[in-house]
Amino acid sequence: MRRERERAERERAIVAAARELALAEGWDAVTTRRLAAEIEYSQPVLYSHFKGKDAIMAAVAVEGFAELAAALVSVRASAADPRQAVADVAAAYVAFAEQRPALYDAMFTLAVDLPFASSDVPTDLARGFAELAETVRPFAGDADLEVVTETFWSGLHGLVTLMRSGRLRREGHQRRLAVLVDRFSR
Amino acid sequence: MRRERERAERERAIVAAARELALAEGWDAVTTRRLAAEIEYSQPVLYSHFKGKDAIMAAVAVEGFAELAAALVSVRASAADPRQAVADVAAAYVAFAEQRPALYDAMFTLAVDLPFASSDVPTDLARGFAELAETVRPFAGDADLEVVTETFWSGLHGLVTLMRSGRLRREGHQRRLAVLVDRFSR
DNA sequence: CTCCACTTCCTAGCGCTGCTAGATACAGGA
DNA sequence: TCCTGTATCTAGCAGCGCTAGGAAGTGGAG
């Protein structure tokens, strides 16, 4: 049906516009009015596709999960050895967050109502998490792999967010990352 | 001078009202209008004390730094041994964030323009950081103490924020904390 | 071909936000 | 008692997310 196709196309346009605007100027610049202007429709149209602005942000975040997972998979596959894999994956994670701050915020910082720690986690998020898990597995010892992975992830997330909000100086970043990697790869 | 005293008193009232409101209902509920009503003055009075809402939040955050530092000092002083000190301080840090989420947000998550990673860091924040540094010092080895401390801090911050935003299930919290402590105390 | 029903879309507006210009009330000194 | 300067308030701006109600356009039945 043509109508449905056009409708799906418009929905994609909304998410794309939100993503571009957020990446270029941050989420504060993403208003429903600007979004509507961008897709050349009126404001209420957005609400026939999404429940609200949060839902649009969630849709953008879901795209991000796929990209992050892909980046981690690729990097881990081409790592020389398990220890190097931890370093590479950590670097890739941080690079992803650094290069797409707004995207990262939607995924992991801002309050978007997505089912995270529940049964039906977004597939791509689970894939990214699984990739992290496989990376640290050789060094988990007899500890629960999921717990170790979550802790490692928290370390990366903390580094990223504290630096981006100005709480950590940018210059020590490489050394901090090295410390974290060291503590989780032996 | 009486005028100045009354003025200082009112400023304290503003910060106190902001803090209470934020702790009770979150920062979204802290509007300049509600704040003005709380102190029984009109809105523009707020702007004769603070540059804007952000500055009020920053003032609340500064109070929080003192409390956090005090909590960490107290806990570390009464720890049985260095390894236990790391565990206790980590637990105290997380407990602080858990019990005063809004306060923690103002301090470490939200964008308030405070000089963090610059030369004139708020004194109490530096005290808290120094306390963390002393806690991990016995396990820093030949690595730079500041770098190790910042990384440990990032781990704690990551655990706190990912859990509070629903990205990590609450149930595994103790085990994750144990992993982090273990990795930084040997 | 005409009419009607239905879907789609837009205009206009609500209640809220942070913030500020201009008018008013009040204080202390001459 | 009058005047000057400060302290404070009222009223309003431009923006926000979101929505009710009406207009326009589409597609099928007679």
pLDDT tens for chain B, 186 residues long, are: 677 788 999 999 999 999 999 999 999 999 999 999 999 999 999 999 999 999 999 999 999 999 999 999 999 999 999 999 999 999 999 999 999 999 999 999 996 777 665 555 678 999 999 999 999 999 999 999 999 999 999 999 999 999 999 899 999 999 999 999 999 998
With a CB-CB cutoff of 8 Å, which residues 43-102 of chain B face chain A?
Answer: none
H helix and E strand count, chain A: 9, 0
C1’ C24 / CA B36, Å? 19
Residue of chain A with shortest Cα separation from B112: A165
Using a 7 Å cut-off to protein CB atoms, list the covered nucleotides of chain C. Answer: 8-13, 16-22
CA nearest neighbour of B63 among B22, B95, B5, B15: B15
Structure tokens at A26: 């941050």
Cβ atoms within 10 Å of B91's Cβ, excluding its own: 16
Name the pTM for this structure. Answer: 0.94
Whether the Cβ atoms of residue A54 and residue A113 lie closer than 8 Å to each other: yes
CA nearest neighbour of B108 among B68, B49, B51, B73: B68
Q: Is the CB of B26 under 7 A from strand C?
A: no
In angstroms, rounded to a whole number, what is the distance separating the alpha carbons of residues B107 and B23?
A: 13
Question: Three-state SS string across B112-130, please?
Answer: CCCCCCCCCCCHHHHHHHH
Shortest alpha-carbon distance between residue B71 and chain A (Å): 20
